[in-house]
Amino acid sequence: TDSYSGSYRLRDYSRGNGIETYDMNMGINYNAAVDFVDNDNNWTSAEWDNSAKDNAAFDAQWGAQMTYDYFYQTYGRNSFDNNGATIKSYVHFDLVEYGYPNNDNAFWDGQRMTYGDGTSLDPLTTLDIAAHEIGHAVCTYTADLTYSYESGALNEAYSDIWAASVEYFAAPEKDTWILGEDLGITVRSLINPNDGNQPDTYQGTYWATGSADNGGVHTNSGVLNHWFYILVAGKAGTNSFGNSYNVTGIGMTKA
């Protein structure tokens, strides 16, 4: 946090050029966002675990900090652009007013992280979701993969892989291979993509061929996701085309 005007706010300037978390107060105008402020820097659940779901702000701040730490400590990468870019997170954003069907979502828009409070779910501020979305920023500043069809599926998969990697780095007690398990659901599974109607084999079962979802980017990502799981943990089996394989895993660090 950061000491400011006699109180404290969710800004961390010990990492790059800063990690900052803001309150949208269920609006959609980013310029109207305000700081989360605590008088004594003791951010207790009694104060913040409330009906407004203000504790989601801590998830967003911590998720960004842990993602920064993972990339810096593992690769020497200084924020998503490798130049210390400020990571800004906005919670209590009204996704419905913005045009989404509900508030069960989060996104990176090229400038910042935005989190919905959830409609049927808790706020979408879990560690792996934060890492996934910030991973899109890393992709933008590296491969800059076009967000459609196979390149888009790679884009999505790299974010899922980084989500798993950051979670393993910062909270190994969590389920590394399931995205979104802290919400009580499985957003995507790297260990068994078929469970979520995703392919685990290139052009195999559940492979998306249409133009929906930018060419199936959230579906066909299952192939690279499962490849990474096999690279880490190893696996023997038969793929969608009857081809057998037996891979010895090399562990998360090497993978």
Average pLDDT of the segment spanning 9-21: 98
- pLDDT tens string 108-143: 999 999 999 999 999 999 999 999 999 999 999 999
Of the pLDDT bands very low, low, confident and very high (cuts 50, 70, 90), residue 105 is very high
- Res 189: pLDDT: 98
Answering whether pTM is above 0.85, one says yes
Catalytic residue (one of 133, 136, 156, 167)? 133
pLDDT band for position 237 (cuts 50, 70, 90): very high
Distances (CA, A) of 150 to 107, 119, 190, 210: 20, 31, 17, 12
| 227 confidence band (pLDDT: 50, 70, 90) | very high
pLDDT over 70, % of the chain: 100
Q: What would the DSSP string read from start to end of the chain?
A: -EEETTEEESEE-SSTT-EEEEEEEEES-GGG-EE-EESSS---HHHHSSTT-TTHHHHHHHHHHHHHHHHHHHH---STTSS---EEEEEEE-HHHHT-SSS--EEE-SS-EEEE--SSSS-S--HHHHHHHHHHHHHHTTT---SSHHHHHHHHHHHHHHHHHHHHHH-TTS-TTEETGGGTS-SEESS-GGGGT--SSTT-TT---SSHHHHHHHHHHHHHHHHHHHHHH-EEEE-TTS-EEEE----TTT-
State residue 137's pLDDT score: 96
Given pLDDT bands bounded at 50, 70 and 90, which one contains residue 170?
Answer: very high
d(CA 234, CA 250): 7
Mean pLDDT of the chain: 97
Q: What is the mean pLDDT of residues 79-85?
A: 98
pLDDT value for 71:
98
pLDDT tens figures, 159-168:
999 999 999 9
- 133 given a catalytic annotation: yes
Binned at pLDDT 50, 70 and 90, residue 182 comes out as very high
Alpha-carbon span 133 to 113, nearest angstrom: 7
The confidence band for 254, taking pLDDT boundaries of 50, 70 and 90, is very high
What is the pLDDT, as a whole number, of residue 46? Answer: 93
Residue 218 designated active-site:
yes
Catalytic residue among 132, 136, 218, 226: 218
pLDDT of residue 245: 97
